[in-house]
Structure formats: structure tokens, C-alpha cells
Amino acid sequence: MSKVTVVGAGKYGSTTVQRIAEADIVDEVVMTDIVEGLPQGLALDMNQSRPVVGHRTKVVGTNDYADTAGSDVVVITAGLPRKPGMSRMDLLEVNAGIVKQVTEAIVEHSPDAVIIVVTNPLDQMTTLAAEVSGFPRQRVMGQAGILDSSRFAHFISETTGADIQTVKAVTLGSHGATMVPVPSQCRVGDKPLSEVLDAETIDDLVDRTRKGGAEIVGLLKTGSAYYAPSAAAAAMAQAVVEDSGLEMPVCAWVDGEYGISGVYLGVMGRLGADGVSAVVEVDLTESESAALHEAAVAVKEKVEDLRQIEL
């Protein structure tokens, strides 16, 4: 039986569960949370949509990790979302405690799972989950790059008027200030982005992408984005469940690629049943490569902040 667990039945978690269930790619999606009744109520509601939507995947809502046992994939969304004016770093302390506790429970019940972390601050939380789990690094990854690339693609499509499905956008690096957009890899139809938009406009779109999460937080007032984020997390879970080998941006353990080592960083990765089977190096311009190296240094510094916290 194929099974995905999503930890955290908040906005991000529950929409991820809904997307995976509606994709009809696994037998069961388990949703767990510390709040009693929340995952159960949402699961009941989602299951009742099956005759209308037409999928068979069953959703199980629970507060008990025993129900998550034997999961192929576990998506960790548990944590507090960013509030207006709050930086990802502010979240570090509280979410580190949550992610540690959740990871320990996952390892106990699903020792062979692939873990996808989405809780912010993403780079540190992915590093923490990998360390706490003791899993091979390739079986623990974070979601950021698909979302950032997708936001960038949206802005390019809005600005150029091009069909969104013909826009290819790539971002690497870290989630946040050191996100590395890769305009040289971006295409609008069969044209390079630089032939469609001038450098200044591209810079503006990059800036808006970098602040994409904060823009939504500012509008919502409470909570953070979850529609595009859950689409990204569900796409990663699907690639693992289907062992598809699809290449996508992912926060993965980098060990020598691009001349960078020993850090979880946003790169292109090939996703399959064992997690990130390979980090795929893409051609970068000199400035893109320099930005990726800077991002690696910044993430390593942020991981040091994690060491200051007593867990």
C-alpha cells in the first residue's frame, strides 16, 4: 500500500493533503496535527468530496503517529507561519523545537520514508530534520525552489502576456534573501528571457519573487501563502511516490556539485523513490555561479544559528 503522511493540518498541510488525494496517486494520505479533531474533521470533509471529484485516495486524520506507520513519504508542515513583519529567522527557535519532535516521531514509525520539509526557516529546518533523522541525506529534502520558480514564472507571464505554460523559470540558492534567480535558464516560449524583457524589468521581477512570500503575508495579515506552496510540495511527493526521476528545483544536500560542499541548498535535483537521486548541475553564468556560492555561505551561517539553540 502506498502512503503519504503530512504532519500539520494547517493551511499548508491540509491543502497539500487535498492536492495529493485528488491526484489519486496513493492509497492513503495521513494528516496529523497536535490539535485534536482538526485533522479528523478535515479528513472527513475531504473524503466526502471523493464522489464529486472522482478520486479513490483515502484521507486519514489523526493525532496518533501510529497511524502514520510505514509511510513512503512524509511532508513536514508543522510549525508556526510567519506573521506580518516577522522574519523567517524569528521563526527559527519555535519551529526548530517542533521539527525536532516531529522528525523523531516520523523516524520511529516510518524508518524508510523520504522526508520533505516545508516548515520555515526552510534551510535550517531541512538541515535539522536530516540531522535528527539520521537518514541518508538524499532521503531528506526541502521545498522552496519549485515555489520560487513558479512565482517567478507567474510574474514573467503577467509582464510579458505570454501563456504561463510556455514560461520556464529557474531559481536556485536559498529560500529568502539569497534566492538565486537564474535568468540564463529562463525561457519564454523558445526565446531566452533576456530577449523578451530588458535587464531592469528582469531585476524588478527577481526582486518581487525574492519577496514573494512577504508580499502575500502582508496582504493576508494573518498566516502565509499555501496554494502555490502546497502545489510545490505535492509535486515533489508525487515525483517520489511515482519514482519519476523528474528534475525539479529542490533544497538538497550538496556534496561537491558546483564546487560547494556540506550544505542543504536550492539546486536542480532528480527525484525518485530514494529521494534526491542526483543533484543536476545546470550551466550558470559567472554572476549566477557567484550568487550560488554566496547563498551557500549564507545558509551555512544560518545553520550556525541553529547550533545556538538548545533543543
What are the catalytic residues?
A: 175
State whether the Cα torsion 290-292-293-295 is positive or negative: positive
Q: How far is the CB of 271 from ligand APR (least distance, A)?
A: 20
In order of 31, 36, 92, 188, 251, the CA distances from 178 in angstroms are 32, 38, 17, 24, 13
Q: How far apart are CA 221 and CA 198, in angstroms?
A: 33
Taking Cα atoms as reference points, which of 73, 69, 72, 78 lies closest to residue 14? 78
Site string for ligand APR, 105-134 (x = CB under 6 A): -------------xxx--------------
Residue from 35, 164, 177, 290 touching ligand APR (CB under 6 A): that is 35
Residue from 2, 49, 62, 101 touching ligand APR (CB under 6 A): that is 101
Residue from 3, 5, 11, 171 touching ligand APR (CB under 6 A): that is 11
* Contact region with ligand APR (CB under 6 A), list: 52-60, 73-81, 126-134, 149-157: 73-81
Helices vs. strands in the chain: H and E counts, helices first:
11, 14
In terms of Cβ atoms closer than 10 Å to its own Cβ (0-12, 13-18, 19+), residue 165 is: exposed
* Contact region with ligand APR (CB under 6 A), list: 51-59, 166-174, 220-228, 303-311: 220-228
Is there binding between residue 12 and ligand APR (CB under 6 A)? Answer: yes
Residue from 229, 249, 266, 275 touching ligand APR (CB under 6 A): that is 229
Residue from 68, 95, 138, 209 touching ligand APR (CB under 6 A): that is 95
Closer to ligand APR by Cβ: residue 34 or 273: 34
Q: Is the peptide bond before 39 cis (omega within 30 degrees of 0)?
A: no
Is residue 188 within 8 Å of 309, Cβ to Cβ?
no
